[in-house]
Structure 1
Amino acid sequence: MSASQENTFVPSSESPRSCRTKCSICKNTYTDPRILPCLHTFCLDCVRGLQQFSIPRTQREGESGSLDCTESRICILCPACDYEVNVPAAGLRELTGNHLIQNEVFLESLKRPDYRIVCDLCNDGNAERRCHVCSTNLCDFCSEAHRDCCMVDHRDHNCDFVANVINKYGSFIRQLLKQTQPHIAGLQETLQKIADTRQLVQKRLRTLTGEINKFTEDYIKALEKHRSSLLKELEELRIQKENSLNLQQIQLQQILADMKTGVDFTEHLLTNGSPVEILLTKRVVVNRLKLLNKTSYSTQPREDDGIQFQQQERAGQCNGFEVFGIIVTKTLDPSKCLLQGEGLRVAWQDQPSVFVLVCNDQSGQQIGRGGESIQVSIYNKKNKECTLKTILHDNHDGTYQFTYTPRVSGLYEGYVCMKGQHVQGSPFSITVTSKYRKHTGIFHCCTFCSSVGQKDVRCGCGGTMLGGYQGCGHGHKGHPGQPHWSCCGKLTEHSECSGTINSNSYQNLVRTVAL
């Protein structure tokens, strides 16, 4: 509500009639009250004191029906409701006067003992009469002139009795009032719904605020507990490394002291001892020096600073919340990482090929985590701009799978680097062939099972069994110990056939294939 709207309310100590006879702008009794189109009433002088502003007319508002940007209308804003009021062309005096309030002001004035009613026309003589049609107080002289005006000047006007006119317009106004009254109940009901909804929203917001605060507090407690756990683990790791380094330091200091004692004693003996003294102590000195030379010790510290905090790694649950961040002590050593897989040597055009990288630490133990930064590239040896798109999959157990599909045959080179160093098996050469030899046999466990015990069926693995069986069997001579292809003996199901079986066994091979 604007300040002007607040000013329309008066203290409850004043009478209702006093409230209706006072202007909400000047706070004084109405003088020449005028009704705005929004049905709020103010003194004419107070309305004139409102700030006026111009608004360009729209095409629909223009009288000529065409848009003229130079035309504008002068407006004021109602101080009570901010309604946009067009200023009449003849001025604000053209606003309709509020005769009802004028009568109330008049009745209110009559109650004052010192009140003197003056003529509304001459503002000089005492008012002796009042025109009920114009609601005007008149002296005797002005009353005669006013009567002549009504009877002479307006005699040609189309007039009718007020009683007849009020029946016509009174019914019309009552009809409009009847149509307007239901809106009040509807608006009041809507406002009540808005108030109820506001209370529900505020209640819901208070509930959610409590839930958010509780969740945040519990989450912070979980994070603080996880932080304490990490710091405790870090402190234990510090104690462990310091103890290990201190022990190695003590051992090496003892060895150093023994070495210095042996060297100093021997140098002193050889420098200052007589030949007889040297010969007499030769056995003890030689044995000691030999023992010192055989002493084994590490030239590298047992511990290193290979401690990392990996923020993105899951650390499990803490107070029901999943937390992240682990301490890793194993340090990746690129020289101990291995490349494995057939895709490092051969590949086939338009066929996906795979190889695997196994990441190890300095001791050669596999690192059971992922998230390492790896650089990989495979390119054509003749045209280095022809590179293969390599898809890297992190298994999160220290192994990474690389998949590529060459579109052009030829010789390719590739490399895999970590921390700026090549891993074991890098760089490597790949031969991409245009024809893919499909297997003509079956991928089976052994010939005895696949042929249901037939003796004359052979297998590409070259295995045989006792009792005249020319094919392979579980646990018998030549069996690879796992499923393989009957045509060539290869152990990988998705691979190219090498066709190692000789030609005179083709018929037996066909029998195996058929079976």
Structure 2
Amino acid sequence: MQIDMINATVLFCGEEFTHETMKKSEMKQTSIQSNGRVSKSRAVCSVCSRMFREPKLLPCLHTFCADCIRQIEPFSAPKVDGKSTPLGAEGLAGDRNSVTVLCPECDSEVDLPSSGVDSLTTDHLALDEVFMETLLIESSVSCDLCSDGEAGQRCEVCSVNLCKFCSQAHRRQKRTSSHSIHSLEDLKAQGHLSRPVLCSVHAGQELRLFCEPCDLPVCRECAAAFHREHRCRPTHDVINHHGDRIRALVSGSLRPRLGRLEEALRRVDTSQGALQRHAKMLASEIRAFAQGYATAVEAHCSSLLRALEDLRLQRSNQLHLQRAQLLQSLADTGGAVDFAERLLTCGSEAEILDAKGVTVRRLITLLESGYDPQPDTVAHDDGSGICFLPQRCAGQVEGFPMVGVLHAKTTDPSKCVVQGEGVQQGAEGQRGEFTLICKDSAGELMGTGGDAVLVSVVHTEQKDCRVDATVVDNGDGSYAVSYLPEVSGSYSVWVCVKAQHVKVAYVHPSARGDEVPAVDVTPAVLPLQGSPFSLTVRPKFRRHHGIFHCCSFCSSKGAKEAQCGCPGTMPGISPNRERELEFDLMICCILLNISLHILFVLCVCVCVCVCACVCVCACVCVCVCV
């Protein structure tokens, strides 16, 4: 129901007081608000931030201006003939379609009446707040009728401010003589405004009746015209019943809920404060942790940079060493070749023959034992083998876990080792074998192969006697080396990785004739000198120049310390062990001879017994016959 307070036309001094007069008052309120003298209060709309104009009450009990409600975008609308009806400001103002909007205050879904926004309940309390706000803010109020004098009184029925002259005239008019007029100062002192609610249909008629079937207040003319068959009672008779119902809902259910909500809100606020304090404390811990972590990361970074610099220096030193070796070999070979060519070109026959001996020896020495690497076996270390792995765990630095390691898994020739007896001893016509194990600069085994390995086996006593060595890459950082010597004698074994000699070789101690150490070492091996290694190849058939004997025991007349007459040894057995075996064999022979003699005596005894038994039996038979 729309309740228009200024619909009634008041005649005063030949003038007509209409809705235009109220618009002047609204313009004054707008001017007051625009000057910033009105703070946010119950008289101000939360949408337009101005004083209420035609305040309407939504079902969620939030009040807004009628125009502000019309401008709200619809949340949903019913379908007409199976199609959605597009709604805008015109749709909200229409009287045929019901729409749902979201309350700007609480975001609740509220349904607007099908007849439009004007059918919403007018918030009279908001109108009272607007007037009281105006009275409290303005130092002087103009008369709403003449607009010239200063208003000092207000008609509660017409809701207009009146000056002294207009107030007297208002009381003289027949239609307004019964209106209640109050002083503005008294209204300010009261702090609230009490005025009658007028009917929106019949101008000037106060709503004094309540239609119970329709559940709405009506004036006398409405009751007579539209609610003739309804039970209409005076408002003062039904106010207690309906007021008690509202009071019961508030006091019985909602007021206790308010207490619980306030208590819950206090707890939420307390939790919010505790959360803020805890978050602040955690933020301090996080900052301290981040600073410590940043320091640890910087330390880790410095450590990685130092390790990288060490690797660079190590690789650079290796390249310098390789370069020095190549330069020295180049100088030696170049000098010898230049001298030989100059000797052959410029020397006379006598000069050539005179220098032939030393020249040939030098050339042969360079040819057999000189540093002669193949270009493909020369290390091309450009640093590409060094890489940074940012995702790999790097342990802890100052208690913080770190990631990122410097990976330099490249072979360091100074850390490589050779294992196996074949690098020191061999046999003519038998394949000798040993293993090359490549390691990195940290002494860890290489997990991959592909290194440039050069193995050369050269006879040191015979010219032009070389043995082809076969190198098999196992793919795990180890290389199986085998060779087949056809000639016995002394050999020189060159084992080079990246054109650099291997520094250490390990062989089993028994291969050298040494005693096995009492304490196990892993591996149970003994170190040899570095490359080139000395290799001794035994002949296939050993020539014996001593006296052949059946056994050392017989030739020595049973001496325990007897030795074999030839210089030969049993492969894989030490000389002391050979003497022990000879003594054991002597004991076995003695026991065997004794056993044979005992067996012979037993056989003779058995034969004698058998003969005696035969004689006895013969005698018995003769006696029986006689």
| TM-score, reference length from structure 1 | 0.51
Counterpart of 1:418 (choices 469, 475, 485) is: 475
The one-letter code matched in structure 2 to 1:238 is R
Letter in 2 for 1:37: P
- Specify whether residues 26 and 337 from structure 1 end up closer, same or farther in structure 2 by C-alpha distance, changes over 3 A only: same
**Matching residue of 2:238:** 165
Whether 1:135 and 2:197 are equivalent positions in the alignment is: yes
From the two aligned structures, give the one with the greater helix fraction.
Answer: 2
Partner of 2:53: 31
Structure 1 residues 20 and 212: alpha-carbon distance in aligned structure 2, compared to 1, 3 A threshold: same
Distance 1:141 1:170 in 2: 27
Is the CA contact (8 Å cut-off) linking 1:50 and 1:76 kept in structure 2?
Answer: yes
Q: How far apart in 2 are the matches of 1:371 and 1:120?
A: 103
Give, in whole Å, the separation in 2 of the partners of 1:281 and 1:141: 149
Does residue 230 (structure 1) correspond to residue 307 (structure 2)? The answer is: yes
CA shift for structure 1 position 419: 9.0
Aligned match of 2:141: 112
Closer, same or farther in 2 for the Cα pair 1:84/1:130, shift >3 Å? farther
Contact in 2 for aligned 1:359/1:366 (Cα 8 Å):
no
Following superposition, the deviation at residue 84 of structure 1 comes to 1.7
Q: Which runs of 5+ in 1 are unaligned?
A: 1-9, 58-67, 340-357, 375-414, 426-465, 467-474, 480-515
Structure 2 residue 94 is the aligned partner of structure 1 residue 94: no
CA displacement 1:33-79 (0-9 Å, x = unmatched): 2111222112223322323342569xxxxxxxxxx998995112222
Structure 2 match to 1:509: none
Distance 1:371 1:193, change over 3 A: farther
Gap change, CA 1:106 and 1:253, over 3 Å in 2: closer
Q: What do you get for the CA RMSD once the two structures are aligned? A: 5.3
Shift of 1:289: 2.8
Tell me the residue number matched to 1:258: 335
Change (3 A) 1:269 1:232: same
* Mapped partners of 2:83, 2:267: distance in 1: 40
User: Deviation of residue 222 (structure 1)?
Assistant: 3.0
Indicate which of 402, 417, 438 corresponds to 1:361: 438
Which residue among 257, 272, 282 is the counterpart of 1:195?
A: 272
Q: Distance in 1 between matches of 2:474 and 2:314?
A: 30
Aligned position for 1:176: 249
CA contact (8 A) 2:387 2:408 kept: yes
Q: Secondary structure at the match of 1:325?
A: strand
Structure 2 vs 1, CA of residues 359 and 120 (structure 1 numbering), >3 Å: closer, same or farther?
A: farther
* 2:108 paired residue number: 83
Runs of 5+ unmatched residues, structure 2: 1-32, 86-96, 146-154, 160-172, 181-193, 208-217, 421-434, 451-471, 483-559, 561-575, 581-626
Across the two proteins, how many residue pairs are aligned to each other? 341
Distance 1:87 1:329 in 2: 82
Q: Aligned pair in 2 of structure 1 residues 288, 20: CA closer, same or farther (>3 Å)?
A: closer
Give the equivalent residue in structure 2 for 1:471. Answer: none
SS at structure 2 position matched to 1:136: coil
Deviation, 1:134, is 5.8
Counterpart in 1 of 2:359? 288
2:327 aligns to what SS in structure 1? Answer: helix
Deviation at 1:168, TM superposition (A): 2.2
Partner of 1:459: none
C-alpha contact (below 8 Å) 1:77/1:85 kept by paired residues: yes
Aligned partner (choices 43, 50, 68) of residue 46 of structure 1: 68
Counterparts of 1:228 and 1:141 in 2: how far apart (Å)? 95
Contact 2:103 2:109 in 1 (8 A): yes
Q: Could you tell me how far apart the structure 1 residues matched to 2:44 and 2:442 are?
A: 94
- Code of the residue aligned with 2:444 in structure 1: it is G
Contact 1:416 1:422 in 2 (8 A): yes
Q: Is the 8 A contact 1:74 1:87 kept in 2?
A: yes
Secondary structure, aligned partner of 2:52:
coil
Structure having the higher Rg = 2
Aligned to 1:185: 262
The answer to whether the 8 A contact 2:77-2:84 is kept is no
Deviations 1:204-226 (A, max 9, x none): 45235314522441342133222
In the TM superposition, 1:293-332 aligns within 5 A as 293-295=364-366, 296-300=369-373, 304-305=379-380, 308-309=385-386, 319=398, 324-330=405-411
Identity %: 20
Shift of 1:192: 0.8
Cα pair 2:437 2:478 within 8 Å, conserved: no
Using the size of structure 2 for normalisation, the TM-score is 0.43
Query: CA distance change for structure 1 residues 69 and 184 in 2, over 3 Å: closer, same or farther?
Result: farther
Q: 1:55 and 1:223, CA in 2 relative to 1: closer, same or farther beyond 3 A?
A: farther
Supply the AA of the counterpart residue of 1:157: H
The change in CA–CA distance for 1:144 and 1:233 in structure 2 (over 3 A counts) is closer
- In structure 2, what is the Cα distance between the partners aligned to 1:201 and 1:366? 48
Q: Note the C-alpha offset of 1:185.
A: 1.1
In structure 2, relative to structure 1, the CA distance for the partners of 1:147 and 1:128 (3 Å cut) is farther
The answer on 1:242 being equivalent to 2:264 is no
Deviation at 1:237, TM superposition (A): 1.2
